[in-house]
Each structure stands twice: as C-alpha cells, then as structure tokens.
Structure 1
Amino acid sequence: MCQLFIKADPTLWETRLRSVRMHGFATSVRLENIYWILLEEIASRDRLSVSEILARLYEELLEAHGAVENFASFLRVCCARYLMLQLAGDIPADPGQSIAGLDAKSILAREQSRFAARAGAEPKERRALRRPASSAAAI
C-alpha cells in the first residue's frame, strides 16, 4: 500500500511560494505543488485564475469568520474537501462543470449527514479520547 505514496513524484510535496494580492495587500502563500495543481483545477472550473480564487476565498473567509489565522492550512483543507466531495458525488468529476453553479446548501447538508453518520459509527474508545478532559473525568 505505501508504495502508492512512497513512489509518487517527489515534486508533488515540494513547496512553492506564490505572490498574491488579497484584501488590498500583496502577500505570499507557500504550499506543496500538489495543492497548487488542485487549486488550478478548482479555479479553472469557474474560469478563474489561481490568484483570483485565492483572493475570493480569503475575502469570503474574512467576511464569514472575521479573521484568517492560517490561510495555507485553510487552502489545504479546501483541496482535501474538493476531492472528498468529488468522491461522494457532490461535485461532478467533469472539470468543465462550474462549482459556483452547484447547490452549496444541499451539498453541505449531505456532507454534514455523512460526518454525523461516521461519528455515530465511531468506536466508543475513540469518542472517549476526543472528549475534553472534564467530560472524560465525569464518566
């Protein structure tokens, strides 16, 4: 199994720094090449450049949460979710289909249901490990 990962092209995990203009300021984002490849695919689905999708994500994240603590981590999670949502069938595999045209509210509801179902199927021992210390002590 590990050979699928170990024998992959090492350039995929090399990092690349890209300059981007976000929220009126020029900044840089450092990500592994595999994430830049995925971000290019995500952006191209809506006919955007990588810089444009990064700026949009940053602005909407700022608007929704008021702060952006680790934008690079957020982008990695976006890429992982993109692939997970494709595997679940919520985002069509056809790269020609726009993401902006999808019903985000329905997709998020289905995703939340899947996560809730997985949490319910999680072994009791792992759930106990995830509880805050005060909850675990009360058991």
Structure 2
Amino acid sequence: MCQLFIGADESLWESQTRSIRIDGVVTSVRLELFYWNTLAEIAHRDALPLNKMITSLYFESLESNHDISNFTSFLRVCCSRYLSLIADGALLRNDDSLQALDATTILEAENHRRRERLARYPNE
C-alpha cells in the first residue's frame, strides 16, 4: 500500500508559497504543489484565474459565517472534497463549470454516502 503513495512524484509534496491579494491586502498562502495543481483545475473549470477563484472562496466562506482563521487548511479540504466527489462519481473530471451544478443535490448525496461509510466503518 505505501508504495502507491511514496512512489509518487516527489514534487507533489513540495511546498510553494504564493502571494494573493484579497480585498486589497496581500497575503501569502503556502500549499503543496499537489493542492496548487488541484486548485488550478477547479479554477479552470469556471474559467477563472486562480487568484480570483481563491478570493471568491474566501468571500463566500465569510458570507456563510465560516471560521476561516486557517484559510490554508480550508483550501486543502476544498481540494480533497473536490477529488472525493470525483472519486465517488458525483462530479466528472471535465471542463464543465462547477457554478452550473446543482450543489444542493450533490451535497445531499455526499451526506448520504458519508453516513453509509460511517455505518460501515465506525470509528474505533
């Protein structure tokens, strides 16, 4: 099992710091290349520059009253959820806009799958 993970391209876990301007303030975000690549894929789907997509996530999170004190962790979870939705077949890995999707239906199905997994694999 471990070879599947440790045999991957080492550059994927190298960290990169990028400067992003959010609401006129420049901030630095440090993520592994794997996450930068995934964020770029997400941004591409909605034809947005990466910085604009990240800024949109930031403001939408604030509007939803999320605690984004650790914004970098939030971005990692966004990437992981995106890839999980693809793995579960809820999303296709193509160029269709994410904004055009029915988020409510996708989230309900995701919650159903999560409940099924928890029933099958309860925490020990």
Please report the TM-score for the alignment, with normalisation by the length of structure 1: 0.84
Identity, % of aligned pairs?
48
Equivalent position of 1:97 in the other structure? 96
Deviation of the 1:66 alpha carbon: 5.0
SS state at 2:90 partner:
coil
Equivalent position of 1:85 in the other structure? 85
Tell me the distance in 2 between the aligned counterparts of 1:45 and 1:74.
Answer: 19
Amino acid at match of 2:100: G
Please report the TM-score for the alignment, with normalisation by the length of structure 2: 0.93
SS state at 2:109 partner:
helix
List per-residue Cα deviations over 1:31-72 (Å, max 9, x = no partner).
000000000000000000110111000001111125411100
Equivalent position of 1:110 in the other structure? 109
Tell me the distance in 2 between the aligned counterparts of 1:74 and 1:27.
Answer: 15
Q: Does structure 2 conserve the Cα–Cα contact (< 8 Å) formed by 1:20 and 1:27?
A: yes
**Higher RCO, 1 vs 2 (CA within 8 Å, ≥6 residues apart):** 2
Tell me the distance in 2 between the aligned counterparts of 1:121 and 1:33.
Answer: 33
User: Alpha carbon RMSD of aligned pairs, Å?
Assistant: 1.3
Equivalent position of 2:39 in the other structure? 39
Deviation of the 1:121 alpha carbon: 2.3
Deviation of the 1:116 alpha carbon: 1.2
Amino acid at match of 1:55: T
Q: Which of the pair has more CA radius of gyration?
A: 1
Deviation of the 1:122 alpha carbon: 3.1
Amino acid at match of 1:25: V
Tell me the distance in 1 between the aligned counterparts of 2:117 and 2:2.
Answer: 25
The verdict on how the C-alpha distance between 1:21 and 1:117 changes in structure 2, with shifts beyond 3 A counting, is: same
Return 5+ residue gaps in structure 1 as ranges.
127-139
Amino acid at match of 2:80: A
Amino acid at match of 1:53: M
